[in-house]
Structure formats: structure tokens, C-alpha cells
């Protein structure tokens, strides 16, 4: 039987996204959310390009909450700060750039709303419209997803996707510790260990290259490989 949900918490970590964060917020506010009330939580991770000032100038709103880190700590830390203030029964992770389209929210939410899933990942490689870009980034993503699937006994096509949506109750008893991009691996491994029902849906994707502000590097890929083993077997 499908549960009754009232609120969606949208978590947005922000680091040096002054060129996109205001437009992203506008799109999130305008996006359909399948009848759910939206709670939007932005965390500035000590940006140096004016992103924090943009957030501080936002008009007071019951819907939008902003927080700031006094020093740069990473995406995982920003998401943990946002989670600490989330009050929705469903949580959705949204990057502050414009790579992911908030108009995909309904298809991400539907498997949870109709009772089929507790966790939904939005896959960039499952047939949705996407920008053709960066072969080696794609290859590394597929390799990490394969190793993660083998150890977590899943068949995801895109473990590293930003769009991870889950019932807030799925995190009961889970302690998240990642500071940087390891949060993608940690969430996947720890939710899988709880044997929650995973679904995956296609999404549109407009990826950036490094000249346009992409931040993840090969070092994060190597770290992710270690985190896959760490979070699957240790904590």
C-alpha cells in the first residue's frame, strides 16, 4: 500500500556556483513536485566566488532555508548539514549547477509515491536526453558503478548520479561520514546494506566540461574506488 507523503526536502550543496545557483533555485521552485510541499535547503560550502552572498541576499521564505560552512569541507559535508535540517518525508539531492533538470522530479518521485520503491536513482545513461561529453569520465563512472554493483548486489547504471531520492526514514540507523564526493558511494552502499527497494529512472542531463566549472577529478575517482570497499564492508 502506498504511503501518504506531504513534504519533499530538496538538498542543494553549493560551492562556487555563482553563475548558476540563482537560476537553479528558480527552476527548483518552479518544478512540479507531484503535489508535495517543497522545502529547499541550500548549504554554501565556503564559496569564494560570491555564491554565499547570493544566498544571503535571498528574501526570507518559509520554503527556502540557507546555511553556510565557515570553511570548505566538501559535498558530503554540505549534504550532511542539509540533512540535519530536513523535515520532509522524502529527500531529493540536487546539484547547484544546471546539469540536472528539476522538471524530472515527477518521474523520480513516482516509484516512491506509489509504494514501489524506497530509493530512486536518476540515471544519465538509461536513455534520457544528454549532452555528449568526456569519454574518460563516462568510462570511469561505468567502472565504479560496476564495482559498486558487484559488492552491493545491485544493477544500477549510474551509481554516481546526483539525483538520489529516498524516504527520510531510510536513513534511520545510518551514520553518514563522507566529506567530499564519497557521499555518492556511501549513500549507495549503506542504503543497499539495509536492503531497501531501489528503482532507477532515466533523466535528462546537460553535463559540463572542466572549462565550464566541472569539479570532480580523477583523484575523486580513485577515492571512490576505496570508498566502495570501505562502506560496503566496514562502516
CATH number at residue 22: 3.90.550.10
Mean pLDDT within 194-211: 84
2 is a domain residue: no
Query: Domain containing 155: what range?
Result: 7-233
1 is a domain residue: no
227 is a domain residue: yes
Instruction: Report how far residue 81's alpha carbon sits from residue 233's, in angstroms, rounded to the nearest whole number.
Output: 25
Residue 129: the pLDDT is: 66
Mean pLDDT within 133-155: 85
Close Cβ partners of 148 (under 8 Å, ≥ 6 residues apart): 154, 156, 159, 185, 188, 189, 228
Instruction: Report how far residue 85's alpha carbon sits from residue 81's, in angstroms, rounded to the nearest whole number.
Output: 7
163 is a domain residue: yes
Q: Number of structural domains, the chain? A: 1
Q: Which of 8-22, 80-94, 178-192 has the lowest mean pLDDT?
A: 178-192
97 is a domain residue: yes
Percentage above 90 pLDDT, the chain = 71
Give me the chain's average pLDDT, please. 89
Contact assessment for residue 187 and residue 109, using Cβ atoms and an 8 Å cutoff: no
Contact assessment for residue 226 and residue 131, using Cβ atoms and an 8 Å cutoff: no
Segment 114-124, tens digit of pLDDT: 999 999 999 99
135 confidence band (pLDDT: 50, 70, 90): confident
Contact assessment for residue 25 and residue 102, using Cβ atoms and an 8 Å cutoff: no
230 confidence band (pLDDT: 50, 70, 90): confident
**Has residue 143 got a pLDDT over 70?**
yes
Amino acid at each position: 500500500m502506498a504511503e501518504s507523503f506531504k513534504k519533499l526536502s530538496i538538498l542543494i550543496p553549493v560551492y562556487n556556483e555563482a553563475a548558476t545557483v540563482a537560476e537553479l533555485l528558480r527552476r527548483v521552485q518552479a518544478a512540479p513536485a507531484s503535489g508535495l510541499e517543497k522545502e529547499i535547503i541550500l548549504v554554501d560550502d565556503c564559496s569564494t566566488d560570491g555564491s554565499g552572498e547570493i544566498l544571503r541576499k535571498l528574501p526570507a521564505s518559509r520554503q527556502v532555508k540557507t546555511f553556510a560552512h565557515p570553511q570548505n569541507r566538501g559535498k558530503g559535508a554540505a549534504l550532511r548539514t542539509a540533512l540535519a535540517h530536513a523535515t520532509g518525508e522524502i529527500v531529493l539531492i540536487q546539484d547547484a549547477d544546471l546539469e540536472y533538470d528539476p522538471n524530472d522530479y515527477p518521474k523520480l518521485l513516482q516509484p516512491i509515491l506509489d509504494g514501489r520503491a524506497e530509493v530512486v536513482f536518476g540515471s544519465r545513461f538509461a536513455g534520457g536526453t544528454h549532452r555528449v561529453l568526456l569519454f574518460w569520465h563516462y568510462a570511469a563512472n561505468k567502472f565504479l558503478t560496476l564495482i559498486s554493483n558487484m559488492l552491493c548486489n545491485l544493477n544500477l547504471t549510474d551509481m554516481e548520479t546526483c539525483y538520489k531520492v529516498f524516504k527520510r526514514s531510510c536513513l534511520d540507523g545510518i551514520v553518514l561520514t563522507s566529506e567530499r564526493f564519497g557521499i555518492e558511494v556511501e549513500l549507495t552502499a549503506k542504503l543497499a546494506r539495509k536492503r531497501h527497494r531501489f528503482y532507477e529512472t532515466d533523466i535528462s542531463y546537460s553535463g559540463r566540461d572542466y572549462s565550464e566549472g566541472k569539479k570532480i577529478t580523477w583523484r575523486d575517482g580513485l577515492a571512490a574506488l576505496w570508498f566502495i570497499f570501505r562502506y560496503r564492508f566496514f562502516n
